[in-house]
Structure 1
Amino acid sequence: MSQSSQIAALLLLALLAANLPFLNERLALIGPRRAEKPLAWRLLELFLMYLLVGLVGLGLEQYGGQIAAQGWEFYAVTLTMFCTFAFPGFVWRYLLRRR
């Protein structure tokens, strides 16, 4: 798997993982189904998904060579990008009018 295809796969995984908390009603994506999850629980799931995707990215970086040290700026930018990826799911869950 080339490096560019690894990056594309990681971005697609991040897009999917960022929207999962808003697209289902299960606790932690595998727990019992609830009538309606509170927003705080969805945000906690979003952060856990961010950590999971980060671990996958770290594994891909380790597979490709040496892991580069990152400062707080890197994590601030990636968290912001992950929240941007979650925007379609948030809009679908909270902003669209349902009949």
Structure 2
Amino acid sequence: METRMAIVLLCAALAANLPFILNKVAGVWAVPRKHVGWCLLELGVLYFAVGGLAYLLESQVSPVHVQKWQFYVTTFSLFLVLAFPGFIARFFWKRRA
């Protein structure tokens, strides 16, 4: 059980920062400068992808518990907290020339 939880947490941390690390839209289309809107869209898509992985892993162990909207708001907020380092590195970190 702990291994599955660690897998989900590591995937969530990686997926939360991925939109801010990659310079391509959806990891495929190269753009000169990636707009913050694309990053937020990718962040939402990756949130649902990690949620699907968590659902899949939970369904292998036991019956899946029904969740209400509070659960999804909380997990999305935690996903945003995990995305904070990538956001800072992309938009606020001054790169030396």
Q: Is TM-score (shorter-chain normalized) higher than 0.5?
A: yes
Aligned-pair identity (%) = 39
- Unpaired runs of 5+ in structure 1? none
Query: TM-score scaled to structure 1, two decimals?
Result: 0.94
- The residue number in structure 1 matching 2:53 is 56
Moved >2 Å (runs of 4+): none
- The residue number in structure 1 matching 2:15 is 17
Q: Letter of the aligned partner of 2:11 in structure 1?
A: L
RMSD: 0.7
How many residue pairs were aligned?
96
Q: How does 1:24-35 map to 2 (within 5 A)?
A: 24-29=22-27, 31-35=28-32
- The residue number in structure 2 matching 1:73 is 70
What secondary structure does 2:31 align onto?
Answer: coil
How far is 1:50 from its partner? 0.1
How far is 1:4 from its partner? 0.7
